[in-house]
Structure 1
Amino acid sequence: MERHQIGFKPYLLVLSLVLFLVQPLQAAEWGTLTGQFLYTGTPSQPVKLDISRDQEICGKFSDQIVDESLVVGKNGGLKNVFVYLRESKLNASRIHPSYQELPAEVTIQNKGCIFQPHVAGLWVKKQKLQAVNRDLCAHGFQVKAYRNNSLNQLLPPEAKLQHQFEYGEKLPLRMSCSIHPWQEGWLVALNHPYFSTSNETGQFKIENLPVGNWEFQLWHEKAGYLVAKDEWKRGRIKLKITAGNNDLGVIKVTPSMFAGE
């Protein structure tokens, strides 16, 4: 018995050494993608939209019912650019465990007679869409889908709607209200959690991507495919993600990149 124990100790030592070497290797299998979108034009003041229905309720929020199709921060940051991995079938082993901690629902509120937030994203295999009406008037919550069933649901005040998408979508989906024509928002519903939207400074971050060669999509509601560089055809970027931070730096976006400008 003692001889067996003596022979077993070297085995434990070797096993410990292997585990020690494997852990850093596993940690090196993930990378983060960052960047910043800067608008090179002169941003204009948000245009107030025509409040054509429920004036007595929605009219109280006239200062926030504005055109949000092109939101530029005070330092030129372009807000609400979708950046996401173009991959419809991603093996579960390529999704970092940290994403299992995402909330079970992504909530879109009808609040102040606009959608809050204006843009959002969800992982269809993990998260449900929840629409909530926080206003004193009814809203008709609509989502125009391509691969999934579209939504068109009346939401009285304080009503909630939960919806589970069956499939990931390749393009963002338009949200609207059948009662209030000025209401608009956008939702990206994907088969994986690797997406981000730029904030008011134009910055975005997608954490814990699997290392390797991938293709990413840039999309903005006013431009559609955001072709910020000539080589980014249809707003698609081919990148080799390495361990650690992968920074695209400053991405300049000119007014000519937007439809109608």
Structure 2
Amino acid sequence: MGTHQFFSRFLAIATTTMIALPAQAYEVSAVTGGGSIEGVVVFRGDVPTKKIIPTKDVEVCGMPRDEPLIRVGANQAVESAVVYLVEVTSGKEWPTAGKTPELDNVKCRFEPEVQVIAAGPLDVVNTDPVLHNTHGYYGKRTAFNLALPNKGQRIPVELPREGTVRIDCDAHGWMEGWIYVVDNPYYAVTGTDGKYSITDVPPGDYKLVAVQPFTGSMEVPVSVAGGKATTLDIELTKQ
């Protein structure tokens, strides 16, 4: 084998090996002198709405109505925006595990509409006395597709990797929900006041992502100093 052929084969093998390597898993470690990131998420644009016109199961799903595509309260505060740090390889413990995360069908809505979970189990539940077909997607690829014809039905599924999982119902086309599967515990979901707080962050420089289904995501650099709170207010804009 000539030198050129040898190095060509070596490069091909090395490239294949690099591609095959998994991403570094998050490791729990002691956080000394951690800081925090806190702030408010706002949206200052016009709030669009979508028309909901139930054509079946009206006694459960409700009457026609307009619903906002982004929930904005006092002082333009955004509810149910997700804020999280990316590329964090080690740090604080995951939140104490209680029960398995749930996605519930309630009055032809998903509850919660937006949630953040670690990769792993999820229980899909039907509280309604009507058929729901709950369908989750990683991008265009189906993560799960479940028929739930019975009230009180519960089906366990697995979301095996990080990423955004969009949820819809094949029986009620207006239903939509979002699950953000993350690889580290540095995340928050805003309440009605738009506030978020991420605590016990090891000092350093990070990328912070804020996302809401209507606006999409935005990435912001942020520095965290030991024992201090970094204030970072975020204005979402439609991408």
TM-score normalised by the chain length of structure 2: 0.77
Aligned pair partner of 1:49 in 49, 52, 59:
52
1:205 aligns with 2:234: no
Question: 1:182-217 deviations in whole A, cap 9, x for unaligned?
Answer: 100111001222211222111111222222222121
CA distance in 2: counterparts of 1:148 and 1:166, whole angstroms: 13
CA distance in 1: counterparts of 2:43 and 2:215, whole angstroms: 13
Aligned residue pairs, count: 208
Aligned pair partner of 2:210 in 200, 208, 218:
218
CA distance in 2: counterparts of 1:143 and 1:123, whole angstroms: 16
CA distance in 2: counterparts of 1:195 and 1:148, whole angstroms: 25
Secondary structure at 2:67 match in 1: coil
Q: Which has the larger strand fraction?
A: 2
- Relative to structure 1, is the Cα distance of residues 148 and 129 closer, same or farther in structure 2, using a 3 angstrom cutoff? farther
Q: What corresponds to 1:31 in structure 2? A: 35
1:163 aligns with 2:157: yes
1:140 aligns with 2:133: yes
CA distance in 2: counterparts of 1:143 and 1:102, whole angstroms: 23
The one-letter amino acid of 1:80's match is S
Aligned pair partner of 1:242 in 207, 217, 225:
225
- Relative to structure 1, is the Cα distance of residues 175 and 224 closer, same or farther in structure 2, using a 3 angstrom cutoff? same
1:102 aligns with 2:97: yes
Partners of 1:53 and 1:179 within 8 A in 2: no
Question: 1:237-259 deviations in whole A, cap 9, x for unaligned?
Answer: 122222232211x3344xxx225
Partners of 1:147 and 1:168 within 8 A in 2: no
TM-score normalised by the chain length of structure 1: 0.71
Partners of 2:209 and 2:220 within 8 A in 1: yes
User: Which has the higher Rg, Structure 1 or Structure 2?
Assistant: 1
Question: 1:134-168 deviations in whole A, cap 9, x for unaligned?
Answer: 00101111110149861110112211122222221
The one-letter amino acid of 1:96's match is K
Secondary structure at 2:173 match in 1: coil
Q: What corresponds to 2:145 in structure 1? A: 152
CA distance in 2: counterparts of 1:29 and 1:138, whole angstroms: 51
Q: Which runs of 5+ in 2 are unaligned?
A: 1-29
Q: What corresponds to 1:121 in structure 2? A: 116
Q: What corresponds to 2:67 in structure 1? A: 67
Question: 1:44-72 deviations in whole A, cap 9, x for unaligned?
Answer: 7x65511122223323xx48x75342101
Q: Which has the larger helix fraction?
A: 1
Q: What corresponds to 2:124 in structure 1? A: 131
Partners of 1:148 and 1:165 within 8 A in 2: no
- Relative to structure 1, is the Cα distance of residues 123 and 56 closer, same or farther in structure 2, using a 3 angstrom cutoff? same
Q: CA RMSD in A?
A: 2.5
Partners of 2:32 and 2:202 within 8 A in 1: no
CA distance in 2: counterparts of 1:100 and 1:224, whole angstroms: 26
The one-letter amino acid of 1:37's match is V
Partners of 1:147 and 1:167 within 8 A in 2: no
| Identity rate, percent | 21
- Relative to structure 1, is the Cα distance of residues 128 and 242 closer, same or farther in structure 2, using a 3 angstrom cutoff? farther
Q: Write the mapping of 1:159-198 to structure 2, written as runs, cut at 5 A.
A: 159-169=153-163, 172-198=164-190
CA distance in 2: counterparts of 1:42 and 1:149, whole angstroms: 33
